[in-house]
Amino acid sequence: MGEAITKVYQSTQSETYAAAQRAIRDLGFKVDRLDKANGLLTFKTGLSWKSWAGQEMSVMLIELADRETEVSVSGKRNQSGVIIQLYDWGEVEGIAKKVLMAMDDYLGVKLPDSLDGAPRGLFDVSEKNMDPGD
């Protein structure tokens, strides 16, 4: 299991929980388990070009203060049958970031002015797609 991706939201645990549930649904994943009392949601992803069996993901919410909630998204390869894939190609981290970005939208998180209007998403940066600055 990789490291969890963690973010703190300025909202109640109930509001944040609802945003997490909506983000998972809107991204096309099916929620496996809801445990609002303990701030836990689990879901599985399906087959993708990065993994044959999908991922088992969990979202953990911890209320830090009255209107402050920490969200931690983590996951691991879904094990079904014979283990034939050893690496997930960073899929867990990508899914976690997508869930958090959707939650940002639902909770009205504003990007810093320096990023406002900038394209959002996950981008691969390498020498071949960088401007050489000629």
Q: Are 97 and 33 in contact (CB under 8 A)?
A: no
Full DSSP string of 56-121: EEEEEEEEEETTEEEEEEEEEE---SS------TTHHHHHHHHHHHHHHHHTTPPPPTTTTTS--S
For residue 76, being part of any structural domain is answered with yes
Residue numbers of the domain that contains 82? 5-108
CATH number of the domain bearing residue 36 = 3.30.310.80
Q: Domain for residue 62, yes or no?
A: yes
**In a domain? residue 38:** yes
Per-residue pLDDT of the chain (134 residues; tens, 9 = 90+): 457 899 999 999 999 999 999 999 999 888 889 999 999 999 988 655 445 557 788 999 999 988 999 999 988 766 654 455 444 546 788 889 999 999 999 998 876 554 444 444 443 444 444 444 44
| Count of domains observed in the chain | 1
Q: Is residue 89 part of a domain?
A: yes
Kindly state whether residue 132 falls inside one of the protein's structural domains: no
Specify if 123 maps to a domain: no
Do the domain assignments include residue 125?
A: no
Residue 31, classed as helix, strand or coil, is strand
Token pair of 81 as six digits: 């049958």
